[in-house]
Structure 1
């Protein structure tokens, strides 16, 4: 007489249950990702679609993502208007200048924090981190008074210096963390070959720190390009306005130029999008490496 083992009998059922649970988990993850992508992507698609519509079509009911009267009129209006083109020129000049200056200062400061010991180092680190904790809006009035007193109101210099106050702390912290991951033997080997500390920085450390530098550069450019509050407060004339302010100026007293607003928003999103697409690998690698502390 033979008896069946209940453990062996229930094994197939348990395996099927495990497989079913795993499948349900995967389906749940994919559904969540698709819903998240739709939630994040539909407003962008609507912005792009609206830039090719007439103002009367934007609020038509039922809404249409693809317009029947496809038109480049809004883009033509932006590119043929010298004032609107100047908005983009200002944004490029300011964002690129802030990015370059921030990188130079941050690299030098981070090298000093990473490789040297000096009096007050801990205090300076606390101040740098503390600046990041201060909400920018609380500094609006003090900076306005300071910029006016320095006669930098409505100038590139005023905006560049103000933006660097907010971009430098993050850049210094990130670059210091990245330099900390690099062995000090690299500096020592460079000095043995007769290279100074300054030479070791620019010839050895900077080239192999490109992922961290690129991540800081992309972040800095994004901050300077998208900033609205200080650009509005510290400028007065249209020839000094940036893209975010230019979009806001399309909101008239009696009517809004919605299609032109959407066209300028699309054009204003392209530089940051291009930077992230082309430097995504360096950006993510730099952010990860900079977060590691030896």
Structure 2
């Protein structure tokens, strides 16, 4: 008679088949990511290759990445033209100003929303979210009339203030959420030492909120750098045009300067790419770990 503990009746363990399945899923995922990356990178590669071609070679069939007419003429034309360089200067001035002002205002507003209770707080939050949900094109005509009335038409100030209307809601929402993750014991420790709330904000919370600030700053810079509709409507003269408008101006009535358009597009992509390359490590959170002594 056998017992339950008899080794003779113990079933053999089922063969492990999970490892091959996991390997197959990883391989399929890797292939899908590679195909998706190639599909996404193809327009950029073609844009880069076209910037080194003559206009007559861009639409030749079959297409070639490198052609006999390979040259840097398009880049030379752009970088030696004061009018086109002015487009880049305008974009830098507007985008950097919008980014800095948006971060300062968003940090102050987010600190108030995160740390204080005051009358109308929920209503203001609803307004902030509602502004983010409004399609920008619906505000084009009102803003045009407003800027003309305030004598800010065709000025840096007009573009900066207009862009901040669309960048501030997102920045306030993101920074409020980030400040909510920071322990209030940090503020209390500063108060014990006799300092005020501004000291707690700028000396303690802001330095450990670098990942959130960088994420919001990069997003804000991208919005201001790439914006086309309001830059076209709220500026009149070439000395106030930005890079997106400068690219559009290369589309002539009878001919398009395709190679110069592609070259200016590549030069316009460089600032955003550099931002991601230099600040990508700040996107990882967790910098507040161990900030408060247990």
Same fold (TM over 0.5): yes
- Is residue 268 from structure 1 mapped to residue 244 from structure 2 by the alignment? no
Which whole-Å deviations, capped at 9, do the CAs of 1:30-69 have from their partners, x for residues lacking one?
Answer: 2211110111001100011111111111101100012232
Which residue number in structure 1 is paired with residue 173 of structure 2?
173
Which residue number in structure 1 is paired with residue 150 of structure 2?
150
Which residue number in structure 1 is paired with residue 292 of structure 2?
none
Residue 200 of structure 1, CA deviation: 1.4
In structure 2, distance between residues paired with 1:280 and 1:18: 35
Moved over 4 A (4+): 17-20
Which residue number in structure 1 is paired with residue 5 of structure 2?
none
In structure 2, distance between residues paired with 1:140 and 1:115: 35
Residue 20 of structure 1, CA deviation: 4.3
The equivalences for 1:19-34 within 5 A come to 19-34=19-34
Which residue number in structure 1 is paired with residue 55 of structure 2?
55
In structure 1, distance between residues paired with 2:260 and 2:111: 46
In structure 1, distance between residues paired with 2:76 and 2:145: 39
Which residue number in structure 2 is paired with residue 255 of structure 1?
255
Secondary structure of residue in 1 paired with 2:165:
helix
Which residue number in structure 2 is paired with residue 186 of structure 1?
186
Q: Please give the TM-score of this superposition, normalised by the length of structure 2.
A: 0.91
Residue 160 of structure 1, CA deviation: 0.2
Residue 184 of structure 1, CA deviation: 1.0
Unaligned stretches of 5+ residues in structure 1: 290-294
Residue 285 of structure 1, CA deviation: 3.3
The equivalences for 1:110-149 within 5 A come to 110-149=110-149
In structure 1, distance between residues paired with 2:92 and 2:122: 36
Which residue number in structure 2 is paired with residue 211 of structure 1?
211
In structure 2, distance between residues paired with 1:283 and 1:231: 29
Secondary structure of residue in 1 paired with 2:255:
coil
Residue 27 of structure 1, CA deviation: 2.6
In structure 1, distance between residues paired with 2:69 and 2:161: 45
Residue 11 of structure 1, CA deviation: 4.4
Q: Please give the TM-score of this superposition, normalised by the length of structure 1.
A: 0.91
Unaligned stretches of 5+ residues in structure 2: 1-7, 290-294
Cα root mean square deviation, aligned: 1.9
Change in CA separation of 1:200 and 1:26 when aligned onto 2, cut-off 3 Å: closer
